[in-house]
Structure 1
């Protein structure tokens, strides 16, 4: 078993060293740039820097995800990895802070900076001095927060690089002749790998991961029954996240359908999420609609075609509506009136009495031809 995995793990650890070193170097340069986006330089130049940084964050997130997937495959036969957490030299709170930033919070704030700098540039062309001053205050506030966050990432990648390099020096001296030395190498490899990428998987109790900077929110993860469309807007209250997990599992086990599509819940720390008026407090979620077509059950985030209007489609969605209400108290379920009508006719013909019990929360709302909008009570 050792020889099957140690080469892969060794390769990933070395790749992780290069990744950490590269991130550290880039972040130092980035910190210098951010500290100059304070209004003293040209707005257009600052706007270009913000755009460049957004591209960097997107690239970093993709690298992290790819690296994590490879490492998870390499260590899948070692369920006792949790015990290695105590050997990680990078402090746990630093790991969590850093992963929180890379998983969307940073990106959201940069998008806000991107927008306000662009707006300030337009206002400058129009000569609206008072509004420009207000915009400049907002820019300075956002930049100050970003500088603090980059410093967290700099500390994290710096400490991580040192941990990995120390491990590499030991590994180069290590003889793999004895069983004891091979086990020691495997253990150290896994510790280094965990510290690099796998830590966020170890530190979560289930697919709804607690966020370090907002203990009332959890991050919903993709699974065999859930497909997350937007990683930076999948944060919500534990009640809502657990509801989605349980309801999706129930439908998947009963119908063998494709994963439930989850689009928007809330941002990492909540707050406005354009173009939505809601989705600010971690209690709202947009979910795909189940359909039956070509002898198969699916979940889609798209308007229903005519051939989707059938009893099997209505039945699976009715079961979904019922199980949602059985697992958690809901305020309402928004859906298009045409779908509500189809479900109601089906239920009144097939299960008299159920509509009065479970149909009252269904409400028509414009713009909901392609998804459910669920709100839980708090």
Structure 2
């Protein structure tokens, strides 16, 4: 009989849903995904172009489908669509019992729109519809980057009753805009007659990348004490985002939607693998504990939590004043917050595009190999 790890279980009991930031066909067919549900309290999965690019390099589990796609003569874009939506559909089926047990809150699997369309609202909405229809599961979330153009798409997709994972959020200002786009989408969905209880959303707020960029600038600062601020901005930024979240739920605008059956858009802590070896490897997990949140972790971070993570209740709600002071101090040290978050959004989107191109090339090569042998 399998038992849940006590550390991951403690995090779940503190109100944090644990989602795995990874997916591959091997995880699904080998039973590994089911094992993580049973032993690591994993209740969902997030994917992105980088994850699929890595998965598709291991051609073995995809060989049969690639051969079929090659025989059908599909182009590489369609092949990527068919390969990735199948993985997400099958993962949704693995998580279906969790989805049912949690009344739809968890058991979620995310799939992202083509990042090359992230600054084109109409194209993003069209692809979100196509992805949701192709996966065909109630527990799928469509990931949409929180660019300025993406905000319009987020509202439109939610208004159609499609559940959304808003990704690539770095700034508190943008997060406020995301919350407004979400509320507006729910208001439009209600007006269109959709059942709000069936529309779910999370807002993926990136953490470790903030420290990476801020710390790089702190290292170049001549301001006294700048070095003492290293490794502090990421948690401070995320904790202040949670304050914005709770403040939003204390508004009449939200209460009207909640009375109509709406569910909160939970903050999701993303980029929670520690990139600086000088920092604790569970920093962005144990430092971001609060009810009604999600933490999506790479497997390495998940296993670090299981091995030696110490969960000590809510580590966010009592840290707002400290977090304000940290970001103020970072600014006084000469680090321009607005420039940091603009840089991170631009770089993050470019990384997604580069990974998408890598994914396309991997599949193109595989299709060519299969076509040459048929």
> What is the TM-score when the length of structure 2 is the normalising length?
0.24
> What is the TM-score when the length of structure 1 is the normalising length?
0.24
Structure of higher RCO (CA pairs closer than 8 Å, 6+ residues apart): 2
Rg larger in 1 or in 2? 1
